Amino acid sequence: MLTRGLNVITQLVAKRIVDGVARYSLSCNTDTTLDLLRARAEGRASFKLIGQVNSELPFMPGQGDLAGDEFSAVLDSVETDFPLFAPPSEPISDTKYAIGLHAAGLVRDGGTLQIGIGQVGDALAQGLIVRHRDNAAFQDIMRRLAPTAPVVETGTFTRGLYGVSEMLFEAFLGLIDAGILKREVDGVILHGAFFLGPKSFYAALRAMAPDQLAKIQMMPVSFTNELYGDEPSKRRARVDARFVNNAMMTTLMGAAISDGLDDGQVVSGVGGQYNFVAQAFALQGARSILTVEAARAGKKPVSNIRWSYGHETIPRHLRDIIVTEYGVADLRGKSDADVIAAMLSVADSRFQPELTRQAKDAGKLPKGFEIPAAQRDNAPERIAAALRPARDAGLLPAFPFGSDFTEVEQRLIPALQILSAALSSPQRLAGLFWQGMTHAPDASDEVCLARLGLDKPATLSDRAYRALVSGALTRSREN
């Protein structure tokens, strides 16, 4: 932004009256604004800061708590107030829970934690909570999930963790409530640069006691994402750091694809992923953990672990730890052959033979190499079976940190996922249709159908949709 030039920054703010004087909090987005204000103070930028008060924003303490004279104007009117954007939490699938649990076994007590947004982040946090609150259950889950692979870290959190993450989301509050996020750095247990989440997340921050809220400090993105600036203090704070972020794909050589495709399509901004990977190599005892689903479902399933790919976000020379639902591939400091063998061990077994052939054809694996038998059963069904007892016991709920979805909507979600997956297969779609036509919906299904406006279908297409959804609801109960 400084390179392109800017003359105005507009930002939503929270308002508080202190001794009769208005103060404004940058609240959910200190991210780049604080760095730009510093640039303005140093004469490197010239712009006007315009604030708009939003009643739903929590007033966050820290560097984003600004005096009114920092602003050229503030819009503060009931007429311009509006509900905050609040993406609801998504239900955590078995695949995401398996990835999160494997990652939870890599986090060291007394260390530092950064988590990327999404289901894996929620699953990781819930895995840490189970590990802390019911350690025996956690170890039992891990034995079922990875019977031949020892878990690195299994103990409870007596010293606790310190959080430093560009993005904060609801799972961090769950870690605080569980007594896991409690290691203080200058009186703070969690530093962040922006936050986003469901309405319940914003409400929890607004209702938090001042002394507890003071331990969550919003900072400029240069603080969370870099070691530059007071580097000695950051190094002392960020001990045994684990930086956990998501990727779309990886290669057998350990490169990660997180932000774009090989045809030039941009899927997402890189965000802080590269920064946290770089920190993992700069900090003593730190590790970068990139998580990826081993395969992508569809009409024809595809491996997310590729021999090679025409776009990279994190290059192979920064390879560290890759986690899939099938386990942990520790790649740091290993030869290409050992890296490839480790990646094959966490790949979906449907794709292991072809990936192995490609590596051998390239001369990267010995012709006689074979994947160990224990890693040749990497299938979604094995993951579901391994997690089922913990699911049934309520240890791994679909929404571990609550949801803005109603009970009816939560009931609909797995059914709609089944229906969505069936759209790629005429045979599966016909099966759902037949099941819906031949099985009368029960009372709970009728409530779900009413939520979609399908309780009284008036047209032929509505009746078809009703049958499909009804069949998916029945199928979701069977699963």
AA identity, residue 224: T
How far lies 342's CA from each of 199, 280, 321, 335, 347, in Å? 41, 20, 10, 11, 9
Per-residue model confidence (pLDDT) at position 395: 97
pLDDT exceeds cutoff 80 at 16: yes
Contacts of 427 (CB under 8 A, 6+ apart): none
Q: Is the pLDDT of residue 51 over 90?
A: yes
Examine the pLDDT at 41 and tell me if it is beyond 90: yes
Interval 342-359 mean pLDDT: 97
Is residue 195 within a helix (H) or strand (E), and if so which, with residue range? strand 190-195
- Pick the residue with more confidence: 209 or 414? 209
pLDDT digits (tens, 9 = 90+) for 392-431: 999 999 999 988 888 899 889 989 988 988 887 888 899 9
Across 139-147, average pLDDT: 94
Out of 85-89, 140-144, 323-327, pick the least confident. 85-89
Check residue 37 and give left, alpha or beta (phi > 0: left; psi -120 to 50: alpha): alpha
φ/ψ of residue 328, rounded to 5: -115, 125
Average pLDDT over residues 313-338: 97
DSSP letters, 23-48, are EEE-TTB-TTHHHHHHHHHTTS---E
Q: Name which of 170-174, 370-374, 422-426 the model is least confident about.
A: 422-426
**pLDDT at 424 (0 to 100):** 78
Q: Which one-letter amino acid corresponds to residue 132? A: H
What value does the mean pLDDT of the chain take?
A: 94
Using alpha carbons, list the distances in angstroms from residue 24 to 50, 204, 330.
Answer: 11, 19, 46
User: Going by C-beta distance under 8 Å and a sequence separation of 6 or more, which residues neighbour residue 127?
Assistant: 97, 100, 101, 103, 104, 105, 138
Q: Give pLDDT, residue 425.
A: 83
Q: How far apart are CA 231 and CA 228, in angstroms?
A: 5
- For the residues 115-143, what does the mean pLDDT come to? 95
Please report the pLDDT score of residue 112 as a whole number: 98
DSSP string for 375-388: GS---HHHHHHHHH
Per-residue pLDDT, 405? 87
Tell me if 71 sits within 8 A of 25, measured CB to CB. Answer: no
Q: Judge contact between 327 and 149, C-beta under 8 A.
A: yes
Whole-number pLDDT of residue 117: 78
Residue 320: what pLDDT?
Answer: 98
Ranges of beta strands (E only) in 247-398 are 249-251, 256-257, 287-291, 295-296, 302-303, 305-306, 321-324, 327-330
Interacting residues of 272 by C-beta distance below 8 A, sequence separation 6+: 166, 167, 221, 224, 225, 245
| First-to-final CA distance of the chain | 50
Does 299 score more than 80 pLDDT? no
Q: How do 65-67 and 21-25 pair as beta strands?
A: antiparallel
- The dihedral over CA atoms of 261, 286, 154, 142, expressed in degrees to the nearest 10, equals 20
CA distances from 386 to 98, 141, 391 (A): 9, 7, 10
Reply yes or no on whether the pLDDT at 279 is more than 80.
yes
How far apart, in whole angstroms, are the C-alpha atoms of residue 142 and residue 148? 10
Two tokens at 131? 């590990």
Model confidence at 48, in pLDDT bands (50, 70, 90)?
A: very high
Q: Report the pLDDT value the prediction gives residue 342, as an integer from 0 to 100.
A: 97
Averaged pLDDT, 132-137? 97
- Number of residues in the chain: 479
Q: What is the pLDDT of residue 39?
A: 96
455 has a pLDDT exceeding 80: yes
pLDDT for the residue 439:
85
pLDDT tens for residues 219-272? 999 999 999 989 999 999 999 999 999 999 999 999 999 999 999 999 988 889
Q: Is the pLDDT of residue 209 over 90?
A: yes
Question: What secondary structure letter does DSSP report for 17?
Answer: E
Return the closest-CA partner of residue 170 out of 88, 231, 293, 59: 88
What is the radius of gyration, based on Cα positions, of the chain?
Answer: 24
CA atoms within 13 A on the CB side of 218: 27
Tell me the CA distances in angstroms from 351 to 249, 325, 341, 397, one per residue in order: 14, 15, 14, 30
| Nearest-angstrom CA–CA distance, 27 and 60 | 5
Q: Could you give the C-alpha distances from 64 to 30, 40, 230, in angstroms and in order?
A: 6, 15, 19
Token pair for residue 208?
């938090």
